[in-house]
Amino acid sequence: MVVMLRLFKSFDAQPRLAVVTQTLVTATQDMIHFFIIFFSCYFCMVVNAVLLFGQDAENFSTLGRATMACFRTLFGGWDYDEMEKVGLLQCAIWFW
């Protein structure tokens, strides 16, 4: 992490690369607000997944496993058949 911060600090020496750091500095407050909302919604999805699928699907049996399964779901890698065993309606509602 420190190496990455030092790398961004060295970007200030070059005018074209300084655009990257200045953009990040300018957008810091907006990014903080975005991630607060994003993680709030993400945590709600994880809790809902545990409540809906936790008893029947091993991937959603604990908060830790559900967090990882929801992360994989964000990138399109989910086991729809395992979730559908719980019920088609619950699965469709959770995805929607």
Q: Tens digits of per-residue pLDDT, 28-63? A: 999 999 999 999 999 999 999 999 888 888 888 999
Place of tokens 């909302």: 37
Per-residue pLDDT for 19 more than 80? Answer: yes
Q: How far apart are CA 53 and CA 71, in angstroms?
A: 15
Mapping DSSP to helix (H, G, I), strand (E, B) and coil, where does residue 1 land? coil
Q: Per-residue pLDDT averaged across 4-32, rounded?
A: 84
* b/e per residue 69-84 (b: at least 16 CB within 10 A): bbeebeeeebeeebbe
Q: Average pLDDT over the chain, rounded to whole?
A: 86
Q: Per-residue pLDDT averaged across 88-94, rounded?
A: 82
Neighbours of 55 (CB within 10 A): 10
State the pTM of this model.
0.75
